Amino acid sequence: MQMHLFTNQKLILFLLTLLLACSTPQQVIYSPTGEIRKAKNVILMIGDGMGLSQISAGIYTNKRPMNIERFRIIGLQKTHSKDNLITDSSASATAMARGVKADNATFGSTLEQKAPKSILEIAEESEYATGITVTSSITHATPAAFVTYQPYRTMHENIATDYLLLNIDYLVGGGKKYFDRRNNDERNLISEMQTKGYQVKTYLDGDMSDLAIDRSRRFAYFTADGEPITHNAGRDYFIYACEFGAQFLKNLRKEGFVFVIEGSQIDWGGHSNIGPMVIDETLEFDQAVGRMLDFAERDGETLVIVTADHETGGFSIVQEDTKGDLIIGFNTKTHTATAVPVFAYGPGAEIFAGFYDNTEIHDKILRAMQLR
């Protein structure tokens, strides 16, 4: 009897241990020393002007769940700039790129003082591959914040020259005219890029997906002379360029890569108060999010962060019409101060949960990469 009881106790203990083992999450979020798993690659995706209501409208409009719904770790970031409660894109992108607050319309640099290095510059110095893919010109405020030390966002030609000071390995976006048809000087920056070893192609050479691209050399593709057209009007390079870019950067350098992606025109739909444009641009951005999540799932060493620089339009879903289409209300033709969501997946993702300032995106990325 004694023996029997002991066996039962042992069995209960065994079952308890098994139960505990099964209910313990496979991935320990924080080790006792607060260490996180190192992110070899980082993909930072910014939906310009993409607040929670824009995402909600995408979810209600889409026939299937959005890719953004695949994230399990979600945070919120405060977006105010140095001089204004309502940020613009250059100030908020500077916060994420360089970890400092900047005045609106600036990148944190003045004629006297340079802003701290951006995550792309730090990555480049640490031998990582680097890339930018956007649906605006590459000299536009958000991508520029990762590259330029010019004092103002309106200085497109000066911003273009700053691209020559870095060696970003993969560049896709508009703005060709700021490189090869300049008003302020006679420089042809496309020729200068080629001299530096870049393979440079443009929309005049055909669709990017039809080009023969040497995967061992830096690559730039100009998708428009100025700003690219809307997705609805036929812009179709973005999803391919994101997917190709992640693989291109992974192959290029063994250390890893940092890839900055922007869905730039969600914001422009907001400024124009055109609800269907906001939703269409958000859904296209979300398809790119899906491709990057698929890449990260396969790769296992890639941290994907999806966020916005600010909300645009005071966008709200106010009603549904008889056909089930959303009726959208706008409060403003400019940006708002509402906090914006942050979604994270992959090694280091857990540190993006919580409510924090936009400058912390910069700090958290470097921490996840163990570069600080």
User: Footprint of Zn ion on this chain (CB under 5 A)?
Assistant: 267
- The beta-strand segments (E) located in 1-107 are 41-47, 73-78
Which structure tokens are listed for 202? 């443009």
CB of 308 to Zn ion, least distance (A): 11
Which of residues 150 and 265 has its CB atom nearest to Zn ion in the complex?
265
Which of residues 166 and 337 has its CB atom nearest to Zn ion in the complex?
337
Total residue length of the chain: 372
CB of 169 to Zn ion, least distance (A): 28
- The beta-strand segments (E) located in 204-310 are 219-222, 257-263, 302-307
CB of 284 to Zn ion, least distance (A): 17
Partnered with residue 316 across adjacent β-strands are: 329
Which of residues 267 and 350 has its CB atom nearest to Zn ion in the complex?
267
Partnered with residue 131 across adjacent β-strands are: 170, 259
Which of residues 62 and 338 has its CB atom nearest to Zn ion in the complex?
338
d(CA 220, CA 231): 21
Three-class SS of residue 330?
Answer: coil
Q: Return the amino acid letter for 129.
A: A
**Is the four-CA dihedral 243, 58, 258, 93 of positive or negative sign?**
positive
Which of residues 262 and 267 has its CB atom nearest to Zn ion in the complex?
267
CB of 271 to Zn ion, least distance (A): 6
Three-class SS of residue 369?
Answer: coil
189 and 202 in contact (C-beta within 8 Å)? no
Which of residues 86 and 366 has its CB atom nearest to Zn ion in the complex?
86
d(CA 121, CA 130): 9
CB of 311 to Zn ion, least distance (A): 10
Which of residues 180 and 267 has its CB atom nearest to Zn ion in the complex?
267
Burial (CB < 10 A; 0-12, 13-18, 19+), residue 137, is buried
CB of 80 to Zn ion, least distance (A): 15
CB of 44 to Zn ion, least distance (A): 18
CB of 167 to Zn ion, least distance (A): 29
Which of residues 103 and 180 has its CB atom nearest to Zn ion in the complex?
103
CB of 89 to Zn ion, least distance (A): 6
Which residue is nearest to Zn ion, using beta carbons?
267
**Is the four-CA dihedral 315, 320, 324, 325 of positive or negative sign?**
negative
Which of residues 157 and 309 has its CB atom nearest to Zn ion in the complex?
309
How are the residues of the chain apportioned to helix, strand and coil, as percentages rounded to the nearest 5? 40, 20, 40
Tell how strand 335-336 and strand 311-312 pair up: antiparallel
d(CA 310, CA 56): 16
CB of 361 to Zn ion, least distance (A): 18
d(CA 100, CA 93): 10
Other C-beta atoms closer than 10 Å to the C-beta of 156 total 21
Which of residues 41 and 106 has its CB atom nearest to Zn ion in the complex?
106
d(CA 195, CA 272): 41
The closest alpha carbon to 126, from 205, 39, 47, 9, belongs to 39
